[in-house]
Copies of this chain bind each other. A is one copy, B any other.
Amino acid sequence: MTEPAWLTVLTTTDSEEKARTLARGAVDARLAACAQIPGPVTSVYRWQGVIETGEEWQVLFKTTAERYDELEAHLVAAHDYETPEIIAVPVVRGSERYLAWVSAETAPAATP
């Protein structure tokens, strides 16, 4: 398997409004072709030795491997968590038309 050309990138935040802002910001900056926000998820994690449970909101971006570093930098800057979840999973197959759309939508806008 060679380096995948497309990725899905997942981040998580603590309100629907922040999830929408992260989604919109990345699509607006052409760092992702689209983003999907499922309903709230229950997160389970350890904090200072105790297992905590909280409600969070995921955002799933579709982008190219080429744009990943810029998307990550954008999310880190836009996020208000100290250590936000940002993980990318490879897209190894896909409809050619859809993947071409992802590439086109994430191409840096031509300067006029």
Q: Which residues of A contact B (CB under 8 A)?
A: 1-4, 6-9, 12, 20, 23-24, 27-28, 33-46, 51, 53, 56, 58, 62, 65, 68, 72, 75-76, 83-95, 97-99, 101, 105
Inter-chain contact A72/B93, CB cutoff 8 Å: yes
Inter-chain contact B46/A105, CB cutoff 8 Å: yes
Inter-chain contact B27/A36, CB cutoff 8 Å: no
Inter-chain contact A93/B68, CB cutoff 8 Å: yes
Partner of A35, one of B36, B43, B87: B43
Inter-chain contact A89/B92, CB cutoff 8 Å: yes
Partner of A86, one of B3, B35, B51, B95: B95
Copies of this chain present in the complex amount to: 3
Most buried by B among A3, A34, A68, A101: A34
Other A-B pairs, 6, CB within 8 Å; known A83-B95, A86-B94 = A7-B92, A8-B87, A24-B53, A36-B41, A36-B58, A76-B95
Residues on B with C-beta less than 8 A from A99 are 87
Inter-chain contact B7/A36, CB cutoff 8 Å: no
